[in-house]
A and B are shown apart, each in its own frame.
Chain A
């Protein structure tokens, strides 16, 4: 197989169309559709006493207004299920008190932004005018905001869950109490991470049409899971699955928030479109979320309070790891407890924890629902483990890299079984990885061993610098499966479809590279479609860095079948052995003969024609395949067990996730006066197995690093005690601009191919963000000489910590004291 394309930094085939402004994002579609807008709760917690929509009905251009009661009436009359609570996507035994919202609030609202009334009008302006004239009577209830309030449980978010605990899970390996008791040394850390969010530049949106001729619903939605939205809409509207199609158009970023489904709007917009079409009013409806709506009605993630107790020896060996954390899951649990499960397993990183116990509580608060955001609990896990590693190093006086080195899982211990259950419900078994080499590579890249020289030179200029290091392991490519269909058309062009969705990861290029290698065609001749249930009906979705692993492998399998079929047909037609043929430059070619030699080459287009024996020719080429032109009349035109057409479908379904890994190192400078943090260097070593397109993988790392910087230094959701989101705009929720990210991201790759899939691919989508909080806490701590336990950290917070440290309320790092006595001057 000419491995010419996989591994190459091929320029993306998606780009010219998007750069010309010819993208088709959700709000670009349905220009003649009616528009929907929502009345959303201004209260964090309240009973809905009455909804008076009369004010809206006489607004010119208003077409319909719907409340919960309208949905319930429709369900009763038509046997639909649109009024009911939305589905619990991933049940779990530990989730003993799950709760999902109603599409439109029934009697209670549990976070600011929850939808109460839906208005349909000629356009969004008019719909919003109407919303302003709708009066909802609320009886405010005491809100539960933040983990402290949730844990204190003076008030309950959901009355039948008085302790606000949605889920409680304990996992343990080995005998922790004994290991901890016997450990020569122990220490405890109290850590905290605040909320952030995916914040894709394009919010959510749904455009639906109802075809009254064929009774079919077509739903376009900015989603990461088109096939699942389709199934949910069919179930809710009481439709057969083949009466619903779902398409993810161009999607302006997802980062996890768009994996949740069905959003209330994904049920209500198709439902209303059908209702309005049957009433002869209009047959298409669109809702495009605005930024404020996204802040208060999509989902957030990250907030946790953590308590880590570690037992270790004087050499820094980890003997016991006792990890308890409280996870803020917001008002509802539509995605189950995937985020805390990921934290509780991925906390282990590349290390052997000795005895391990993890206990977590997933807590309700009257705030926006929490579901996975890039990293999905891994950044919090890495934060807990890497803070502990740094604390052990400081306690033992050992070098921070050395302590990590002494606890690493060794290559010869692979596959390494942690005896836990991972988020895919399968054993947490690392399949491959070389962590010692990874650690050495990051040390070399950042010049770890000579940093004291850098620090000394800076101190000589009165500047304060510090270095931090953080490692992680990321379970990628969880199943259950993905599939792909590959067809070579009689034009010779290759069409590929996979059901998984795309949000900017360059799938159309990367999957085309895989197919091009299998079929010996140019990447430009392969057109890939993702996320369209009309083209491929079975899929799971894009999350957990799985697209390349799952759909990449499935595409490889399907293309391999097409390859075999092409060679078989060509061999018969050319009367040569299959082994003498190879696919190159769009043709089956006898090895060793000059291109185009008669009888030794057959273009794929001809093979495609021959693969479909015809009665009727539709063009010159197809004449060659009609009944009087070809075929052994003693045999059936389509032999037993074969199918017409040069096409195949392939699936990939791994037993387990495959584990990527990496290490980041950061050098920061903290301003002695303003406490601002400046990034001097950002280094990444990354192992995601085989790189299909190195340029695209590096782009994923760049983007992840930027979100890591955001989560460490800038992004937090500021809820006040009333549950009002104070910074629900880009004015005050600080996404990093180009000026806030490192000037350069220095990247070194390591490739330990995955043994679990044919191309050896591991996922790369989330890696860049995972160690962000941990590595910045380590670097700032190193510069300041006192421990950092809470992220993100703003200059004012660092300034306050300095005061507390000066007052002796925050202990110095031991190595800072040692440096101070060595230099005879106070640290910082």
Chain B
């Protein structure tokens, strides 16, 4: 019984080839139809930065950007990402390794503790700030109120949204995703 890697399927299930551009790089995976996008990213492509907290689309830890828009990758089949752009937390930092303004803001503001929900927040906020570069406190609250965190009580995450906007303004234009 040969096992390539953990996520091969039983022989009974037909495999689909799914081609995506992940963090700017063309990737393809052979997966059964029912493979969730979250599992394909984490186990087939071994991009484990995206986390799974509930598998029913409530906590947001699995958020990735699909063609630049935040989606819950645990609610999507990998097959339906075929031909699309996917940005995961691993794709947010600049090519030279500089942290994305949102990532740097989370360091500055102590916006994370255990870090498990963090990938979902930083991808969501990165997309939000791209479209709303000058948020106020109410905007910041709105931007983060779709993701669950059990450690921080959200106070510093809200602060990080405002700090990230500030950092983004100080840097030359950088698109997210």
Contact = CB atoms under 8 A, between A and B. Distances in A.
Contacts of B171: none
A16 B107 contact: yes
A629 interface: no
Given A60-B11, A290-B55, A730-B54, A741 B154 contact: yes
Contacts of B153: 701-707, 741, 745, 768
A25 B5 contact: no
A14 B115 contact: yes
Interface in B93-150: 93, 99, 103, 106-108, 110, 112-119, 122, 137, 141, 144-150
B9 interface: yes
Interface stretch (A31-39, A136-144, A603-611): A31-39
A21 B103 CA distance: 10
Interface stretch (B14-22, B42-50, B77-85): B42-50
B32 to A, nearest CB: 7
Contact of B114 (A27, A33, A202, A290): A202
A235 B91 CA distance: 44
A505 B113 contact: yes
A60 B50 CA distance: 29
Nearest to A294: B54
A738 interface: yes
A21 B5 contact: no
Contacts of B119: 21
A22 B151 contact: no
A21 B93 CA distance: 10
A126 interface: yes
Contact of B122 (A19, A730, A768): A19
Interface string A253-265: 1010000000000
Which of the listed residues A20, A202, A290, A745 has the most CB atoms from chain B within 10 Å of its own CB?
A20
B145 A738 contact: yes
Contact of B118 (A18, A27, A281): A18
Given A506-B113, A745-B153, A27 B42 contact: yes
A123 B9 contact: yes
The winner among B47, B55, B108, B112 for most chain A CB atoms within 10 A is B112
B154 A735 contact: no
B89 interface: yes
B3 A282 contact: yes
A63 B14 CA distance: 20
Contacts, number: 210
B53 A735 contact: no
B6 A699 contact: no
A731 B114 contact: no
B162 interface: no
A798 interface: no
A795 interface: no
A699 B114 contact: no
Nearest to B88: A21
B10 interface: yes
A737 interface: yes
Nearest to B119: A21
A20 B52 contact: no
B156 interface: yes
Given A28-B48, A122-B6, A706-B154, A15 B106 contact: yes
B106 A738 contact: no
Contacts of A19: 89, 99, 103, 106-107, 112, 115, 118, 122
A135 interface: no
A654 interface: no
Contacts of B59: 201, 730, 735
B34 interface: yes
Contact of A255 (B54, B103, B149, B150): B150
A253 B114 contact: yes
Given A19-B112, A20-B99, A125-B9, A202 B53 contact: yes
Q: Which of B34, B56, B154 has the most chain A CB within a 10 Å cutoff?
A: B154
A61 interface: yes
9 smallest beta-carbon distances between A and B, as pairs:
A21-B49, A504-B114, A252-B116, A706-B153, A18-B115, A60-B10, A702-B153, A504-B113, A28-B48
Interface of B: 1, 3, 5-12, 32, 34-35, 42-43, 46-56, 58-59, 61, 88-90, 92-93, 99, 103, 106-108, 110, 112-119, 122, 137, 141, 144-158
13 contacts: A21-B49, A34-B3, A60-B11, A122-B1, A126-B9, A126-B10, A201-B149, A252-B114, A504-B116, A698-B110, A699-B110, A703-B113, A745-B155
Given A730-B148, A731-B56, 11 more contacts: A12-B107, A19-B99, A19-B118, A20-B99, A28-B42, A31-B5, A125-B35, A126-B9, A201-B114, A701-B153, A745-B155
